[in-house]
Chain A
Amino acid sequence: MASPEDLTGAPASLYAARKGVYPKKVDGFFRRLKWAIMAVTLAIYYGTPWIRWDRGPYAPDQAVLVDLAHRRFYMFQIEIWPHEFYYVAGLLIMAGIGLFLVTSAVGRAWCGYACPQTVWTDLFQHVDRLIDGDRNAQLRLANGPWSFEKLWKRGLKYLVYLTVAFWTGGAWIMYFADAPTLTHDFWTGQAAPIAYGTVAVLAATTFVLGGFMREQVCIYMCPWPRIQTAMMDEKSLLVTYKDWRGEPRGSVKKAAAHPGAFGDCVDCNQCVAVCPTGIDIREGPQIGCITCALCIDACDGVMSQIGRPRGLIDYCTLDDAASEKAGGAAQPVRNTLMRPRTLIYLGVWSAIGAAMLFSLGQRTRLDLAVQHERSPLYVQLSDGQIRNTYTLKLRNMEARPRRVAVTVDGLPGAVLWSETGSRGAAGERIDVPLAPDSVTRVKLFVAAPGGGPARQDFTIAARALDGDPGGDAETIQFDQSEAGQ
């Protein structure tokens, strides 16, 4: 740290180069948990587009598909149309509240386990270990001069990076088109240029962010850590070095020579060596820590080797840290997970989820929107009737052709016909055929005896005729002049 006096001299540069991070291999509960989460998340990411889902002949059979060209979003049984975008908004709100929930309970657990940056960095670091060897070998190679070994190892490593990066970008585009077809088109050069562009951009970002920038993204670029600190409180579980138990540090030898003079930490630096962001947790909570708990695994390993109790570094709340420091006991983890704040978040989160599920179950797959022709608002017909004109937008959201009946309600003596029918054949209902999965526009003429009120509310309803009771109705105005002639 430069002192103020240092600054009066001419500093060569205010820029500090990155110190390489070569995390050491570690084993333990949290490391295995991290492997498991990595396996699941990567499997979901790479595998999802290949799941098939039968939706009948008129819709794609990909389980999860963002069909930008036809403006549809398919997710298993659920199909979202653009006007139902509020479901996506609802999901985003749930994701936000879910983040509140997780963060208030276990701090930056998202960062440590599930964040794509963490998952891919972890993957790339594993590639490093496979090719260069563990921490010491990596360090030796990095600091050593260019040799044949260094050359081929670097070459091979970047090749593996690139392959992983390419697959990452390649999996992304599969969500936007039929995966098998797109794969075929991609390799035969027939895919859309945007597909190649997307793969190139995502491969480049994966290569750079996962292969080289790594922890710098988490510490300097990512806004989450700044936001997440605002969601944590004294009761959130954080990775904590129990300095009241560990300090002062001293090796096993020194501790044996001076019993009682030293704490439990043997200053072996294992916690620093395994840290994927290269920080020293013994300096206290800090923004560089993604709470991945690998240091817990490392220190626990050391503690069991030397026969001291585990948990010198542990998940611990600030409140517990204070009470443990004062000699008290920590409260059970259950209490920190189940407290008003987390329960309220959980309640809101599940309420939104339940409401969305309910409305998904209730929503109709036949949607009617009515627009009243404004110019002219009404037309006087030669037999004295008044005619209003409406444009109906009928959305058939099912993947099969349907027929619907359009009727009017609450307008005595009204008859209707459409631009394809004639007034001579006008009646109380018209039938409209709807193509599968499409919007049909119908110009609807409604005529009613004149002399009624100047403005009257009535209902136009569309009902499916194929046994499905689903339908939709909209209340709209019928206008005529009061003065009549």
Chain B
Amino acid sequence: MTTTLEQPAQTTSQEPAWLAERRASGLEQFKNLPMPTAKDEKWRFASVGRLSIDNYNPAEAPGIDKLSVLDKRSSLVSERAGRSVYVDDTQAAFEGISEELAAKGVIYLPIDEAVEKHPGLMEKYFLKESTELGSKKFFGLHAASTRAGAILYVPKGVTIEAPFVNYYWTSGDRSAVFPHTLIVAEDNAYVSVVDVFFSEGDQNEALNVAVANIHAGAGANVFRKVVQDWNDKTVSFQLDTTVAERDAQVKNVAVNIGAERARYEAQTRIEGPGADVKMYSLTVAEENQEFDQRTYQIHNAPNAVSDLLYKNALLDSSRTIFSGLIKVAEGAQQTDAYQTNRNLLLDPSADANSMPGLEILANDVKCSHGATSGNVDEEELFYMMSRGIPKRAAMQLMVFGFFEEVIEKVASDELAENLRALIHKKFDAKLSQPT
């Protein structure tokens, strides 16, 4: 491999021994593990031949003008409890929390500051959890290289209504970024976070290896939203994990629009009874985009609920892969777990692959999964046309109707409106062409 990523950028501050060790072992993992191959079950259907991480360099700091321009463009959510903006892994803005929240013990800091000021907290949670879904190699690279990202800690019983919003931009060419979001919600805390992934323009080729870890304590409520709209020259990995303790509620809604190819791994581990985890995703794919989605709902405790809904709409020669697994461990009785993957194929060349899986080791459970792939329903289309709606408009209505089930779940009018605008920007031209 000729990549320069094996020599990650040196940190400016002195890192503690535990972190240096995690970074070193991450680098070893990256160097020693082989690249995935077509024979690897965890990469089934993925075009691993197109997966090249060679020739990217750790991102260089952009100029001050660029930082300020992109800071201004980071405006998807107006009301917020905190906001951070990173461009090419360089901090462009970090709006900290109010004194009131600080007084309650809430922590919202960039990684390096958090490591310096809260070493105990960081040693306990930072870079500790990785998915088991096939990307250990890339997690290793992330662990070695990540410097940009926001750490959020919410103490017991603290409720924060407004969301924290983290923007991660790329602008440099052939540059690699490693955004990291860590959310620790202690018992009965309530918090929401929006992570946004954008490219400055259409031209820069970038590699993104992002990780987000959520730890939801007993009775905690964590709501995370992801907006991904990289340009179509970006290769993206997003490796997310959630750990939910007793009675925790975690909801994750991801809207994926961009990237040349994007691999999204989402793993949820339920460790306490009464937990309730929702995993929702909407992906809109066009041209030669490939979205590779791997999910894992692990039930290690009884009486818990998990629900997953992944919807993909495919245009042109785009591809999607959904591989999901529900695992119910022995003893996790009264588990209630669902998993649904729906693919809407809008072009004969589009390619949807679906592998909804179950591994059940307890008998008193309600587990089911479903997958459907199909085109726009001709009858519905005919019905609308017979009511005077032109065909193109009818198609649009049906496609946006398909999206809406997930968009509504972000539960914010402003964000939902902005997401609709992003999707319209991408699809209006396509859908208004004669079919």
State yes or no: do A and B come from one complex. Answer: no
- B positions within 8 Å CB-CB of A: none
